[in-house]
Amino acid sequence: MRQPAAAVKATQGVYNADFDWDGFNSDWYCAHNYVSLRDDDTAIMTRVGEFFQQHLKPSTAQRRGLDVGSGANLYPAMSMLPFCEGVELREFSRSNVRWLNAQIERYDAYWDEFWDVYRALPAYQNVSNPREALRKAAKVERMSIFELPEREWDMGTMFFVAESLTYDPREFWRAVECFGRALKPGAPFAAAFMADSRGYKVDKTQFPAVAVDITDVKDCLSVVCEVIDIDLVETKKPLRRGYGGMILATGVALS
């Protein structure tokens, strides 16, 4: 978590609660990030799907999955469909909660391309109608990551959240811990992080980030999880300036 001294000074003492999360422009964010499928997201989905199908039987019986900080992204929730009766999305921003509820009712056609990536994997072929499966399984609730109950969920995803909700490194650590502790011991998870990001704009609004690298992510995840795999996902076409790739970690929650 190394940052230039001037950047550290300007953002010191600026926390999650200091940002207008309800003003997060979900449609802008989705259009910028997800309306066409990127090579790095494709690589992430393939690795996440492979990891989950290795660790879980494709039966949904009574399993509950958690996606925290879902934003305007459906692909983490989709990754849990073959394995969960309930896919529970916990998101703090009211605008994102509205967007998620509308998309879950009947998601837009561009998400079909995302499902096609999962569908190449055997466990996902058991889901014949993913649109209907998501509508039935997914429940969205407005909640802060810092308020998640402990030991509730059987599997979990957290994509670009813990490092992208604050400028404060301790708050980043706390967010990762809250995610890990929300999972039952042994529950498999996938978590993605923007490497070296110092913040990002959504439409005209600036949101924060803590600049992390693979070692930082591994260190804080290891407090609550056994990290099985962690790697930088490469792309020739970065999403925007000001970050150093995407870090993907998979593993299981510790007892």
Which residues contact ligand SAM by CB under 6 A?
A: 16, 21, 24, 33, 68-71, 73, 91-93, 96, 144-146, 159-161, 164-165
Pick 68 or 190: Cβ nearer ligand SAM: 68
CB of 18 or CB of 122, closer to ligand SAM: 18
Angle, helices 26-33 vs 94-105, to 10°: value is: 60
- Listed in sequence order, the residues at least 6 apart from 74 whose beta carbon sits closer than 8 Å to its beta carbon are 103, 104, 107, 111, 114, 134
CA distance 179 to 157: 9
Closer to ligand SAM by Cβ: residue 111 or 160:
160
We find the least distance from the C-beta atom of residue 59 to ligand SAM, in angstroms, to be 26
Q: Which is nearer to ligand SAM, 61 or 95 (CB)?
A: 95
Name the residue nearer to ligand SAM (CB basis): 41 or 154.
41
Nearer to ligand SAM, 161 or 221 (CB): 161
CB of 243 to ligand SAM, least distance (A): 11
Q: Nearest distance from residue 92's CB to ligand SAM, in Å?
A: 4
Calculate the alpha carbon distances from 167 to 87, 90, 107, 145, 196 in Å: 29, 21, 33, 16, 12
| C-beta nearest to ligand SAM: residue | 71
Q: Report the nearest approach of ligand SAM to the CB of residue 193 (Å).
A: 10
Q: CB 104 → ligand SAM: shortest distance, Å? A: 14
- Nearest approach, Cβ of residue 231 and ligand SAM (Å): 17
